[in-house]
Chains A and B, each alone.
Chain A
């Protein structure tokens, strides 16, 4: 079973986030939204296309302008529905994208952290549009799917606080402006 190529995730970060979640701070951040997502089979590989919309907070954009790279992690889970038990996770993909300002060229550079591919954008708006259209994320091979079963794919994107410079992290965990995460977007996997 293909198991995730995952971006760095930190246990302590999760603990802190969970703590804040329990404390009742708004878990839903309006900053990132999955506008649409779909999948298709290409040469027996299930590929996902996701369109994200970013509404970064003022603090976040200020940090980006000041040269702090931001990392967005796109999480895709494929779950097999079960009748009496909770859904079984068949595949999990974690794909990170980093956006940073390149001062010399005055460009915003988006890097796919898995492939290392970079794209440059002259303005923030164009960058955010380019940053949002994520196509062809390979999720899993067909051989791992049973035609008799029903599968659901879900996706969400979040700002990875653990990728921020260390001094920023404690405050980022405590601030709603930084805890940006979309809701899960779910669709049926059609083999």
Chain B
């Protein structure tokens, strides 16, 4: 049972109690004996009941006003319904009330008619007249008894009445015998109920009683006074259970002057029939006069009862109006709140279905709707999560992809670009999303060939296309392999393109290096074998024929064989270098302070080339890297040597070596830059400087920079050569900072990959 139902039942019970109480009060107003005693209680109870209803209604009204101010859903409907119910209930009740009041007043007034009053008075008068006749007879009769008593009256002391009253008294009151006369006998003979002979002061001398009472019913002082004045008394006296008696009191004539004055009282019953009629007349007269006196108060009393009934009726109706309006409005309020909750995104709202009517059906439909919406929302969320997961998966894949992936919309604006896309194009970590291809190329002019080459494919979408693009960026020549295709139409009607490109510069370079390594290996193998026999043959030839020949021929032979031997040696040396290029020794990585290594290398050169100027700009605290010291030493040797050789003869060489730490915490690396102030490198050579046998110098094997590149790549780094804007060239090496232990393994893997 809900709280509301319980309170409703409680108030219903109160109403029923009040109804019962009002009914009792209605009966009490009519002065029915049983309920007359309860009148005041009922009045108080009913007033409290009415006040309780007023309080209940007040509380309801206050709640309703509060709800109206707050704009609670359903409050206006409740107000309308309450007003309507109240009007419907109160109007007929008020009309009935006003008519009832009128009838009530008229009805009460109609009880009191002058003729009725006259009739009642006449009846009383008639009764008195009828009784008067009887009373006069009884007076005569009593006077006769008095005279009889006079004749036989003995002197007798009166009894003290107080003694008679005393329960402990031993005086016997019915000592009635007189000389010659018996009071008892007289009483019986004259039909009296009681005869008492009294002194003038009221003392009992003797008495006789029909009902055997111990004490005679004595006359009061007024009667005695009247007797003392010599008059007789006769009157009606309502004694003993309302029965009427005639009281006759007369003076007993005194036989002599010496005797005390006495009085005789006789109580005579009225005949039963007459007594009954007189009693009726008396009762009705008393009732009538009482009603006449209570006329206005009766009106007030009836009005009060009727008003209480009216108030109870109206207040109960108003409360019932509140109760039912609330009950009716509750589902609507629930629905409104539920709708609001749904609008705010809470689809878990489930309203209680309290009835089987249309409202219940509506609430049930609402619940079904919210359930379906919640289901659809959950489904959508699942789909979204799935899409998000797929997107995250795709982003993770794209992010780790070494190929650059760009998607463009139909306006050629970049929609997405993975990390490799920007890295390959050398535009840093700039966010490309939303910027157009044209804008990106305008910001990075060296990307113009990229745009020029792919634009035709984008403007005329066709099947998958493939294009090789060569860029000349800050890190030198870059060869990109671009593949693209048009994206399928999206639901919004947007089309676009996806471009996937790889930097195949390293691949091409690797292929070229691999080819060179193979050439070197074969050359070493093929050339080295015949060199020894050639050398031995030349030496043998010299040894055998030198002393047999004439001096001039011997000189020629000596020179020729020496030339052969020297050239063979040179060739051997060359073959060894080739061999070294093709098959380097195993990496032996160890923790290495690059700055120190650089200083060591530069110290050697400072000593050997005092005319040259060596500048250093070594960052303090660069990370220690894992590297093979001897091989890196060779790298720096080669680079410094290369820089010294690149410096022109016009000015003393100036070499600047700088080191710094770059990269973020996830991929830290160290950059070393070796700059010279020579002539720089011709543009057409720039992309080939790290290939074997590419040199613009007269001396050298052309393998120096190739070896540098090889060693750097074995260490997981990159190296590139660029021309400085101020003149001269700069070689830049970037080496990753590797965790100890991983360096050798990764280096071996890389070397194998390079080979």
Contacts and interface: CB of A to CB of B under 8 A. Distances in A.
Interface of A: 8, 10-13, 15-16, 42-43, 62-63, 66-68, 100-105, 107, 109, 116, 118-123, 126, 130, 136, 162, 165-171, 173
A103 B237 CA distance: 11
B237 A165 contact: no
Contacts of B292: 66
Given A42-B166, A121-B222, 11 more contacts: A12-B40, A12-B42, A42-B168, A62-B293, A67-B290, A68-B294, A102-B236, A104-B236, A104-B281, A105-B237, A166-B36
Listed from nearest, the 8 A-B pairs whose CB atoms lie closest are: A66-B293, A105-B236, A167-B301, A12-B41, A166-B39, A67-B289, A12-B40, A67-B290
A67 B286 contact: yes
Contacts of A68: 290, 293-294
Given A166-B31, A167-B297, A167-B298, A105 B40 contact: no
Nearest to A161: B40
A104 B128 contact: yes
Question: What band does the interface of chain B fall in when counting residues whose beta carbon is under 8 Å from A?
Answer: 35 or more
A177 to B, nearest CB: 13
B71 to A, nearest CB: 44
17 contacts: A10-B41, A12-B45, A42-B168, A62-B293, A63-B293, A102-B236, A104-B131, A104-B236, A116-B241, A118-B240, A120-B238, A123-B222, A130-B220, A165-B294, A167-B300, A170-B40, A170-B304
A170 B124 contact: no
Nearest to A116: B241
A182 to B, nearest CB: 22
A43 B43 CA distance: 47
Contacts of B241: 116
Nearest to A173: B40
B44 A12 contact: yes
B44 A126 contact: no
B281 to A, nearest CB: 7
Interface in B275-293: 278, 281-282, 285-287, 289-290, 292-293
A128 B412 CA distance: 125
Contact of B40 (A100, A103, A169): A169
Contact of B278 (A10, A104, A118, A173): A104
Contacts of B297: 167-168, 171
B292 to A, nearest CB: 7
A136 B28 CA distance: 36
B240 A166 contact: no
Interface SS of chain B: helix
B37 A103 contact: no
Nearest to A101: B286
A65 to B, nearest CB: 8
A169 B238 contact: no
B275 to A, nearest CB: 11
A109 B43 contact: no
A19 to B, nearest CB: 9
A107 B289 CA distance: 15
Contacts of A122: 222, 235
A43 B169 CA distance: 11
Nearest to A129: B221
Contacts of B535: none
A13 to B, nearest CB: 5
B524 interface: no
Interface in B208-238: 220-222, 235-238
B416 interface: no
Contacts of A136: 165
A45 to B, nearest CB: 9
Contacts of A66: 289-290, 292-293
B749 interface: no
B244 interface: yes
Contacts of B294: 68, 165, 167-168
A15 B128 contact: no
A16 B236 contact: no
A73 to B, nearest CB: 15
Contacts of A126: 220-222
Contact of A104 (B127, B220, B290): B127
A129 to B, nearest CB: 8
Contact of B37 (A8, A16, A167): A8
Nearest to B299: A167
Greatest chain A CB density within 10 A among B31, B37, B304 is at: B37
